[in-house]
Structure 1
Amino acid sequence: MVGSEGMLGAHLVLGVLTAPLHAVVQGSGAAWRIGGAPFKRELARSTALQRCLNRYLYVLMAQQATSAACLRFHLIGQRLARWLLMSQDRAHSDSFHVTHEFLAYMLGVRRVGVTAAASALQRNGLIQYHRGKMKVLDRRGLEAAACSCYSTDHQTYDDLLV
């Protein structure tokens, strides 16, 4: 998951020209774009940029490791709470558009599992949703409902990127 703190194409930092993944844009917003060749030239020229992007790559690797363990060991509701918090962090908003189908895809579960988990979060007054419009009502409550993976990821971001 990438927000204003990061970038797509991090593989270029490693000198790899092809990406093994596809990007899906979840929300609207502004983005900057630079071609691969100019990016590599600037990266070779700037040790500060290299240092910054190396830290970002570490954060990405830590996030992927945490996500793999989370997928294996934590319940859908906890993972959903984590994912919604991460989305809120990157959207810089309490409200954003996301469907149950998309959440099911992102969490690797069936849509009915997302519906049950989201309904529980809504009943507990943590979120409000209707037809793809998601709103976080109680961030602290949502943090308490999330697995420990969220706080681990958040701490890694704070330690290395802020």
Structure 2
Amino acid sequence: MKRTEHTNRLLDDLPHGDRVRLLAQCENVELIPGETLAKSGEPIDFVYFPTESFISLATEMNEGPSLEVALVGNEGMLGAPLVLGIGESPVHAVVQGAGLAWRMSAARFRRALAEDCALRRGLHLYLYVLMSQLGQSAGCTRFHVVEQRLARWLLMTADRAHSKAFHITHELLAYSLGVRRVGITKAATSLQNRKLIRYTRGDISIRDRGGLEAASCSCYQADKDTYDHAMGR
């Protein structure tokens, strides 16, 4: 399979020799939208370092539908509990955006962690970022209105899709934000009337990125700042 033009930022931060050794133990795989990569409470078989693709992490609620708690793209990885020595996934992970990713078996990943200090340090920093973003997401869901949260989610998706245009249904948006479809329709219509996005039959394109950032809640920039600060960017 051909190498992607995009890379994974966590792997990019490794010293050259460490990165080469790690990638030699990975395979480059194509992820398909809707593909389940991990299930809550079940063993983690593989870790994934997305390059083009992005993955939705959701928590399952006994009394209702699942709620997306994070998106993982080429800034991160799937399988972070292994860094803490935990072999089960706490979330349900489903591919949301198609594309390539580096995949590594959990067993090989554990050995690499034991042998590579730079890898451990980088992933410890990423765990801090992930925990901070999960806390930010919880506050965002509780206190910010749907239109702000939708703007934030669209910006996050565009960053991970490496494109200002992508396809997303009302159903998936409702699932991602944990609101009813009518709420998504109202928020998307408002953003479209303000000429910030174009939305037709699930095809979304960002027309005014600066305007969409202004319409978003502060959580979008806070997440980026946390990542850049922690990862030394």
Shorter-normalised TM range: over 0.9
Q: Which structure has the higher relative contact order (CA within 8 Å, separation 6+)? A: 1
Distance in 2 of aligned mates of 1:124 and 1:159: 33
Alignment of 1:43-122 (within 5 A): 43-122=113-192
Distance in 2 of aligned mates of 1:27 and 1:150: 19
Q: Deviations over 1:88-118 (max 9, x none)?
A: 1111110111111101111110011001000
Work out whether residues 78 and 147 of structure 1, in 8 Å CA contact, stay in contact via their aligned partners in 2. Answer: yes
Structure 2 stretches lacking a partner, 5+ long: 1-70
* C-alpha deviation, 1:133, in angstroms: 1.1
Q: Higher strand share goes to which structure?
A: 2
Q: Which letter does structure 2 place at the counterpart of 1:149?
A: C
Q: Deviations over 1:30-50 (max 9, x none)?
A: 011100110000011111000
TM-score of the superposition, structure 2-length normalised?
0.68
Q: 1:16 aligns with which of 77, 86, 99?
A: 86
Alignment of 1:122-161 (within 5 A): 122-161=192-231
* C-alpha deviation, 1:158, in angstroms: 1.8
Aligned length: 162
Distance in 2 of aligned mates of 1:96 and 1:56: 27
| Residue in 2 that maps onto 1:27 | 97
Q: Deviations over 1:52-100 (max 9, x none)?
A: 1111111110110000000000000000000111111111110111111
Structure 1 stretches lacking a partner, 5+ long: none
Q: Higher helix share goes to which structure?
A: 1
TM-score of the superposition, structure 1-length normalised?
0.97
Tell me how large the CA RMSD over aligned residues is.
Answer: 0.8
The alignment partner of 2:130 has SS state of helix
Work out whether residues 26 and 98 of structure 1, in 8 Å CA contact, stay in contact via their aligned partners in 2. Answer: no
The alignment partner of 1:33 has SS state of strand
Residue identity over aligned pairs, in percent, reads 61
Distance in 2 of aligned mates of 1:94 and 1:61: 27
